[in-house]
Amino acid sequence: MIIWRYQKAQSIAHRMIVLAVFFLLISFILIGRLFYLQVFQGEKYQLMAERNRVSIRLTLPPRGNIFDRNGVKLAGNRKTFQAIFTKEQTNDVQKTLDSFSKLIPLDAAERTRIEKEISRKRAFMPVRIKEDLTFDEISAIQLNIPDLPGISIEEGFTRFYPEKDTTTHAVGYVSLILEEDVEKDSPLLDLPGYRIGRSGVEQSQNEWLKGTPGMRKTEVNAFGRSVRVLEDNPPVPGNDLILTIDARLQKIATQAAGEESASIILLDVHTGEVLALVSTPSFDPNLFNRPIPQNVWNKLINNPKRPMRNKTIADIYSPGSIFKLVVALAGLESGDITLHKQIYCSGKTKVGNQQFHCWKREGHGHLNVVEALQHSCDVYFYEISQKIGVDKISAMAARLGFGSLTGIDLVGEKAALLPTRKWKEENRHDSWRIGDTLNLSIGQGFLNATPIQMAKMAAQIANGGMEITPHLVKKRTEIPSKKLLGLKPAHLKIIQTGMGLVMNEEGGTGYASRFNLNGQKMAGKTASTQVRRITLKEREEGIKSQDELDWEHRDHGIFVGFAPLNKPKYAIAVVIEHGGGGARSAAPIASKILKEAIRLDMESSSLSLKEGK
């Protein structure tokens, strides 16, 4: 019987060895796994543990203020109060929300948003219930706070534009940051109330204005509650910005534009400072502080006068007769015309087998260059342009800034189009024809320009041929430009005289809009540009009066000018879309603004004289 015992003991011993080997094998697998997790993947898991542990929360930096040239605030930050709700402070969410909506009604959409957010967020995370509380709402909440467990009032700030719609397109507006504005997963997206500039200097100077968000690194536990603060950097407020614009002139220009779809730019001719930049109709930039209601938005974007668009820099127009200033200057510079050289206008001229008409059917008779400008005679320019040639006209236009960006410190400026022989060959696959030159000579045809380019041209003629760059951000010291365009002062004087006659001599196209403020007068040039071709049939039937046409078929009214006549300081460009002609629509507006600008100058100088005493 010992044998079975011996056999069994042998078998067990054998099997124990097998089992021991098996256990060792399992142990090696587990040890290998430990190595893999802790050594080979250790860094990855350390990173994940760190991401678990550290929560970064940003705090909102106040955006820089924006002031006009006289220190009037154009954009600032307004303190707001918002009602917030913290779930863990109440045991009945619905009851609190019910009693809240008895005080301040919440519509169904808001209510569902709030409830959704409450259920999504952790119990101690606050949820915004109502933004921008009025004083009455705040006191109503404060009085009833015992019935509103979980509700509290929190301070925040929002952008505020005291000048409302008068400075919109110069200053711009801000709105909440969107995912497409920043790189993916930017922490800024989680910063409630973080806004970025959408137009005007708010957009172009965003970097300067925005400030740096504060960063609070906290250690959080598994429930997201912060356990201790690891790092706390306070937000750095954005820098303030001083603009060249004058809030008073902005207001005057906006009022002068009235209901028109207008672009108005007022420049300092010496420095290029933009004193007023208005594109009407405008909108109140404060609208974008909170989610904009759909109907308001639709109204803004469906308005045919395009209030959202800064037309002064982003829209292009045929400059029309104001381009005659350029053609005249080109002729004087090239020697093809002189001050005294006269040309006869019979009301039309024939070039090749094509008939070209003057706007005055009966003709102007004999005219020299200043008279041609005064009456805006088309035939005069048809004749001289053939002599000067397209190349010299284009070159002069380019010298004055046509066809290229003015360099204004705004986003979205267009370069517009200055046609040349080469341009036409490359883009239209056709040679430049004489008819093209004639069209160009009266500012029609392929040529177009932005209102800011027109203003720049006017300023450079007025300042005696110095190149300027229009700008909105005030420099520490604004010095008059000394950059010569290389134009003869005598020739510029002739052009200026012509522009003076337009306004101040009977028969001048802008004569009706003249002013004389203690001897200070203005100068300018009108233009009316057709938005559609006048057919031969219409010409035979007699041209309809502008008032008879639909608004969108009326001519654009354009005016460029400067003042005072004898010592130019301000240059202006006014474009009235479908205003029905420059003399009629644009000139009176320009006149009003220049007159006010001079009057304000006189007031302040008499004030400083008084103070000097």
Which residues would be at the binding site for other proteins (CB under 8 A)?
1-2, 4, 7-9, 11-13, 15-16, 18-20, 23, 26-27, 29-31, 33-35, 37-39, 41-46, 48-50, 52-53, 219-223, 227
State the angle between helix axes of 434-441 and 390-399 in degrees (0 to 180), rounded to the nearest 10.
Answer: 40
In the complex, the smallest distance separating the C-beta of residue 78 from other proteins, rounded to whole angstroms, is: 39
Q: Smaller CB distance to other proteins: residue 35 or 551?
A: 35
* Nearest distance in Å: CB 127, other proteins: 20
State the nearest-atom distance from the C-beta of 414 to other proteins, in Å.
Answer: 50
Query: CB-wise, 41 or 605, nearer to other proteins?
Result: 41
Cβ-based nearer residue to other proteins, 16 or 607: 16
Check if the beta carbon of residue 267 is closer than 8 Å to that of residue 456: yes
Q: Are 161 and 169 in contact (CB under 8 A)?
A: no
Q: Quickly list H helices, 180-310.
A: 200-204, 206-210, 247-257, 294-302
Report how far residue 470's alpha carbon sits from residue 263's, in angstroms, rounded to the nearest whole number.
15
- C-alpha torsion sign, points 591, 320, 549, 282: negative
Return the C-alpha torsion angle 457, 459, 463, 469, nearest 10.
-90
Please identify which residue in the block is written with the tokens 């220049």. Answer: 594
CB 89 within 8 Å of CB 158: no
Min CB(231)–other proteins separation in Å: 16
| Rounded distance between C-alpha atoms, residue 100 and residue 138, angstroms | 12
Give me the phi and psi of 185, to 5 degrees please: 60, 25
Nearer to other proteins, 49 or 296 (CB): 49
Here the tokens at position 506 are 């009977």
Q: Which amino acid is at 126?
A: P
As measured in angstroms, the least distance from the Cβ of 122 to other proteins is: 12
**Residue 388: closest CA among 333, 322, 340:** 333
Between CA 375 and CA 378 the distance in angstroms is: 9
HSE-up of residue 50 (Cα within 13 Å, Cβ side): 8
Q: How far is the CB of 25 from other proteins (least distance, A)?
A: 11
Cβ(187)–Cβ(197) below 8 Å: no
Pick the closer one to other proteins by CB: 135 or 223. 223
Tokens of 549: 């046409």
Q: Which residue number, 34 or 602, has a Cβ lying nearer to other proteins? A: 34
State which residue, 47 or 296, has the beta carbon closest to other proteins: 47
- Of the pair 27, 212, the CB lying nearest other proteins is at 27
- Distance of closest approach, residue 266 Cβ to other proteins, in angstroms: 60
For the bound state, the minimum distance from the C-beta of residue 40 to other proteins, rounded and expressed in Å, comes to: 9
Identify whether 281 is preceded by a cis peptide bond (ω within 30 of 0): yes
Question: In the structure encoding, which two tokens stand for residue 338, read together?
Answer: 């002189």
- CA torsion 487-491-497-502 (nearest 10°) is -80
State the minimum distance, in angstroms, from the CB of residue 56 to other proteins: 16
| 160 contact partners, CB below 8 Å, separation of at least 6 | 75, 76, 77, 78, 286, 289
CB of 189 to other proteins, least distance (A): 20
Minimum CB distance to other proteins smaller for 153 or for 230:
230
Residue 186 Cβ vs other proteins, minimum distance, rounded to whole Å: 22
* Identity of the residue, 28 or 551, whose beta carbon is nearer to other proteins in the bound complex: 28
Q: How far is the CB of 32 from other proteins (least distance, A)?
A: 10
Token pair, residue 264, equals 């108005």
Instruction: Give the residue with the Cβ less far from other proteins, 12 or 145.
Output: 12
Distance from C-alpha of 57 to C-alpha of 229, rounded to nearest angstrom: 11
Closest CA to 493 of 467, 456, 523, 453: 523
Nearer to other proteins, 37 or 534 (CB): 37
CB 141 within 8 A of CB 153: yes
Residue 96 in contact with residue 273, Cβ under 8 Å? no
Least distance from C-beta 39 to other proteins, angstroms?
6
Cα–Cα nearest to 157, from 251, 93, 64, 221:
64
The nearer residue to other proteins, 36 or 551, going by C-beta atoms, is 36
